[in-house]
Structures are given as C-alpha cells and as structure tokens.
A and B are shown apart, each in its own frame.
Chain A
Amino acid sequence: MSDIILDVQHLNKSFGSKHVLKDVSFSVERGHIVGLVGPNGAGKSTIMKAVLGLFNYASGQITIDGDAVSPTSHQAMDKVGALIEYPGIYPFLTGMQHLKLFSKETTSQDQIDEIVDRMKMTTYIDRKAKTYSLGMKQKLGIALALVNRPKFVILDEPMNGLDPQANKDLRTIILDLAKQGTTFLISSHILSELEKLIDDLVVIDKGQIVYKESMATLESGGKRLLVVKTSDDDKATTILTQNGYQLDQTAGVSIIETDDTKMADVIKLLSDNGIDIEDVQHVHSDLETSLLELLKNDKVKES
C-alpha cells in the first residue's frame, strides 16, 4: 500500500467555455488532514465533486487508493464519505432514518448510535428533518459522511452554521479519526478553525493550485514578531533601530524576531534608556495572514 490515498493529476474541467480547473495536481497522504482553501469561486467544491466521480472532466487522472475515479468508475467510492456544499436531506425522514438509509450492511446500529452520540444529536435524531435548524442539518450531513467509517472523508465547509461547542466537538472527532488512520480533505473559510486541524495545506485560486505545503513549512516561513507597548513608542523605535533591530512597519513597535533575538535584551535595552514597558507579546503570523499574503502575491504575479 502506498502512502498516497488520493492522487489528482493534471485535472482540467470546464463549464461551457469557462475553464474552471486548470491543470490541477495534488495528492493527499494517508492519515493526513488536508485543508483546501481559496477564495469564493476558486474551484474547491468543483475539485471535490470531480474526486467523488460526480462529473466528467476534460482531462486528467484521479485515483483513490490506486483505483481510478470517474463518473463511470465508482468502486473506490466504497471507501469514501462526503459532505459537499450543503447536506442533502429528505424532509420527511428523521435523522435516524437518514443514517439507516445510507448506512452499509456492515455498519451496525451501535456504530450509528456512536456517531449520533458524538455529534450530540440524540435529543432530536428521531424528529423529522424538516423541523431541523441549519446547524442540526449540517451535523446530520457530517454524521452521514462519517457513519460508514470511511477511510477517506471529504468535507466541504463542514463548520458552516455550527455553534462554538459543535465546532469543538467536530474538531475532536476529526482529530480522533485521523489518529486512527482516516484521511480528511477539508475545505473551509474559517481559517482559525482549519488551522487547528490540518497537517497540509493546498491553496487554490482561480482554478489553479498556487501553494501546497505542510503546515510546518508554512509556519516556519512566516514572520514572528515581538510587539512591545511602551511609555514612549517613538523613542523606543529610534533606540531599537540604532541597536540593529529590524522593525516591522505595520503596528506599534514590532520587532522582527530572528533566532538570536532575546526578549530579555530588548527589555534591558529599553529600560536602560528610561522607557517603561507596559506589555510584550509574541505574534506569529497565522494562517489567515499567510494566506492573504499568498493570494495577494499571486494576483501581482498574474497582472
């Protein structure tokens, strides 16, 4: 068995004359949680649908666990669970009936009950789905994606409409399953949530992959700042610059940290010069900052 569970090579897809996916190639390692992010209309849902064999594509190859996937080749889908865009729900069935309807013969009632319990849906699972709120439907959609214990799970904006507690529960479930070997491909605009989950990041913009790296690489590439709040910011800025510290222009007194920046040295330098320090903070650039930077650069490149 290879370490790659999903492999997408040179995928091209057009809707009419609109070229929506342009030579998209990426792969997903077994057991990893991969984030797929990009602006609205970038093509995230389209990639996911192609991976699920929901439509024909002009050219390219998609394989899941070594089996080719296309609308006419669906064997690999036995290992896949998915929630795309919004959950499809029959208003006249209860949540439990949905889970029974879509569960495989090999899925036991205990397994169904377990996912209901973990998603905290027990109080309303026997109610008709037409009475569900947005978040309740979303949870049911996630439960449907997970109920058959698939090896590979695709979630398109799963945090949509979930309250903070449900978000946290979902995170715990995903991390648990990943630890047991389940692979996830997750798209989301809630980067602060996504950041807590993912091992790897794939960024897509206007149908092209613009970035694919592990989170570790992304984090080490970002700027780290030491932000100090003082009684006299102007004076502090002058003194720090004179002493060879690189300052970031964005906000207040922000020292760009290098490997030999020591907080103690900074504090000593400033207090020796009669400046009082009110607050010191380490600031890591988060996924949002990195991503916005990335997409900004890309636009510059294109024009």
Chain B
Amino acid sequence: MITLVKQETYKLLHKKSTPAVSIALLIIMTVFGVLSKLYPKYWSAKGMFTTMYTGGSWVVLFLIAACSSIIAMEFQYGTIKELLYRKYYRGEILVSKWITMLIYSIYFYALVFVYSLILKVVLYNGKFNLTDTYANNQSIIETQFMNLIGQFLSVWLVLSLVLLLANIFKSTAAAISIGIIGYFALSVVSGLMFVLMQKWDWLKWNPLNMMNLPAQLTSDTYHKMTLLSTPEMICGSLAYTAIFMAISYVVFKRRSV
C-alpha cells in the first residue's frame, strides 16, 4: 500500500499543474491580503484573516479538480490496465488514490493556514492580536481554526462525491462541474432549503445542509437554521462521505476494463 501511495504521489508531483496551483494560491492570498490592507472599507482585516484571505475557497476548487483527475486520468490515458493487472488488489489501488488525496488536502489546508499567519504578521503586525475576541465568544485564531475544520469536513463530503462521479463517468469534466456546482450551489439554494426544512423536518438530513458546518462552527445561532446540533452535523457529514466512498469502492471493484 505504501508503494502504491508513493506511486500516486510521484504522478501528482510530476504534473505541471501541481506546483503551479500552489503558487497561484499563494499569489491570490497575497493579493487579497494587500487589497484588504489598502481598502479596509470593503474588507475587514480580521474577517479576511479568519477566512484565510479567500484561500479556503480556492482550495476547494483545486481539490475538486485534483480528485476528479486522479481517477479519470487513468481511464483517459488507458493506464488503468497497467495499474490493475499487477499483483495488488483493486481495492488497494483505489484506496491508495484516496490516501494521496487526503494527504494533498491536508497539505493544502496546512499551507493556507500557515501562509495566512505569515500574511497577518507581515501586513497587520500589531494591528490586532490573534487572541482578540472575534464573535461568538471565540478568539480570532479559534474562529479561523473552526472555519478550517468545518471546511475540511464539508469539502471531503464534496470530494467523496467527485471521486464517485469520476469513477462512474470516467471523465474529469462531468465530475468537476457537478462538484463545483454542488459546493457553490449551497449559497444559492440555502434560503429555499431552510424554508422547506421548516415544513418537512426530515429534510434537515440532506447533504447540502451538512455543508453548513463551517458556518455553524463559527456562529452560536446557526443551528436554528440548520435544525441540527453541531455533533449531529459532523456525524452527518462523515456518514455521507463514507456512503459515497463505499459506492465508489463497489463501482471500482466491479468495473471491467
């Protein structure tokens, strides 16, 4: 299994897009850091920091693309036969890809977290302290950390769906578009969803509602909208992720290549 994860990492690192994406991320975060410094009217310094200078949103995009391509590229390049005919079990091949993506997502969030600290120190040193109270009786750093954890869990809910779709459609395009729409649809439909949930209580268990986790973790009133307690939401997210992964696993094992 370690060999397989190493091989997946080797492929990932040798793609031109991999370093390019990390560099782009740092540049974008720097730009937003500088903009918020220049125009404090539009962006609050503390708010920018807690949302990691927009880094979190970009990471979602990059991870969706990476997850769909790590599966779909094997079908696209015809390398799936080479991967599968070896002594390894099929399940191991798939799981090695998941582990690689898990490592990649941890890397991204660590990068974003560390770089937002650096930006804070460079741009706003002395302007505010990380231990200042932000909202909801949480300090700034706590808020940021909760945001990070919440995003990580809800992103993996989307990623598990993307991994499944890439597996079914064997194409990056379908998986990426549905993943992105799924993630960003929340802001569009959440108003309607909350209304419907008041009417039909069971609707609160739908996967889109689980994606409100980052908001709920950083607010003490949000649970009135989502109708779920924070632990319920965390369990719900993990459960959906596990279900999508399990379907992926079955599909991959039964596939004829």
- One of A50-58, A180-188, A202-210, A215-223 at the interface: A50-58
Also in contact, A54 and B256, with CB within 8 A (given A74-B89, A75-B87, A78-B87): yes
Q: Is the C-beta of A77 less than 8 angstroms from some C-beta in chain B?
A: yes
Cα-based distance from A82 to B78 in the complex (angstroms):
13
Are A54 and B84 within 8 A (Cβ)? yes
Cα-based distance from A161 to B80 in the complex (angstroms):
22
Taking a contact as CB atoms closer than 8 A, the residue among A80, A87, A91 that contacts B85 in the complex is A80
Min CB gap A128→B, angstroms: 10
Cα-based distance from A101 to B79 in the complex (angstroms):
12
Min CB gap A91→B, angstroms: 7
Cα-based distance from A54 to B253 in the complex (angstroms):
10
Interface size on A, residues (CB 8 A): 31
List B contacts of A76 (CB < 8 A): 87
Are B80 and A88 within 8 A (Cβ)? yes
Taking a contact as CB atoms closer than 8 A, the residue among B14, B73, B253 that contacts A71 in the complex is B253
Are A91 and B87 within 8 A (Cβ)? no
Also in contact, A88 and B81, with CB within 8 A (given A54-B256, A97-B14, A101-B7): yes
Cα-based distance from A43 to B93 in the complex (angstroms):
27
Also in contact, A72 and B89, with CB within 8 A (given A54-B84, A93-B14): yes
CB-CB nearest in chain A for B15: A92
Contact with A along B9-25 (1 / 0, CB 8 A): 01100111000000000
Q: Is the C-beta of B192 less than 8 angstroms from some C-beta in chain A?
A: no
Q: Is the C-beta of A291 less than 8 angstroms from some C-beta in chain B?
A: no
Are B87 and A49 within 8 A (Cβ)? no
Are A54 and B86 within 8 A (Cβ)? no
Are A86 and B78 within 8 A (Cβ)? yes
Are B85 and A53 within 8 A (Cβ)? yes
Cα-based distance from A77 to B81 in the complex (angstroms):
12
Interface size on B, residues (CB 8 A): 26
Are B257 and A102 within 8 A (Cβ)? no
Q: Give the residue among A76, A84, A90 with the most B Cβ atoms within 10 A.
A: A90
Contact with B along A261-285 (1 / 0, CB 8 A): 0000000000000000000000000
Residues of A contacting B: mostly: loop
Cα-based distance from A15 to B86 in the complex (angstroms):
23
Q: Is the C-beta of A144 less than 8 angstroms from some C-beta in chain B?
A: yes
CB-CB nearest in chain A for B256: A55
Q: Is the C-beta of A89 less than 8 angstroms from some C-beta in chain B?
A: yes
In the complex, how many residue pairs between chain A and chain B have their CB atoms under 8 Å apart? 69
Contact with A along B218-257 (1 / 0, CB 8 A): 0000000000000000000000000000000000011011
Q: Is the C-beta of B37 less than 8 angstroms from some C-beta in chain A?
A: no
CB-CB nearest in chain B for A89: B77
Q: Is the C-beta of B82 less than 8 angstroms from some C-beta in chain A?
A: yes
Also in contact, A84 and B81, with CB within 8 A (given A92-B15, A93-B11, A101-B10): yes
Cα-based distance from A144 to B86 in the complex (angstroms):
12
Are B257 and A54 within 8 A (Cβ)? yes
Q: Give the residue among A74, A85, A87, A91 with the most B Cβ atoms within 10 A.
A: A74
Are B85 and A52 within 8 A (Cβ)? yes
Taking a contact as CB atoms closer than 8 A, the residue among B3, B10, B16, B79 that contacts A88 in the complex is B79
Min CB gap A302→B, angstroms: 28
A222-239 with Cβ < 8 A to chain B: none
Are B79 and A90 within 8 A (Cβ)? yes
CB-CB nearest in chain A for B6: A101
List B contacts of A84 (CB < 8 A): 81, 85
Also in contact, A88 and B77, with CB within 8 A (given A55-B256, A93-B14, A144-B82): yes
Are A89 and B78 within 8 A (Cβ)? yes
Q: Is the C-beta of B128 less than 8 angstroms from some C-beta in chain A?
A: no
Cα-based distance from A72 to B88 in the complex (angstroms):
9
Are B85 and A77 within 8 A (Cβ)? yes
List B contacts of A97 (CB < 8 A): 10, 14
B residues within 8 Å of A by Cβ? 3, 7, 10-11, 14-16, 73-74, 77-82, 84-90, 253-254, 256-257
Pairs A-B, 9 closest by C-beta atoms: A88-B79, A55-B256, A88-B78, A52-B85, A78-B87, A77-B87, A88-B82, A92-B15, A54-B257
A residues within 8 Å of B by Cβ? 15, 49, 52-56, 71-72, 74-78, 80, 82, 84-93, 97, 101-102, 105, 144
11 contacts between A and B (CB under 8 A): A49-B81, A53-B85, A72-B90, A74-B86, A77-B87, A78-B86, A85-B81, A88-B79, A88-B82, A101-B10, A144-B82
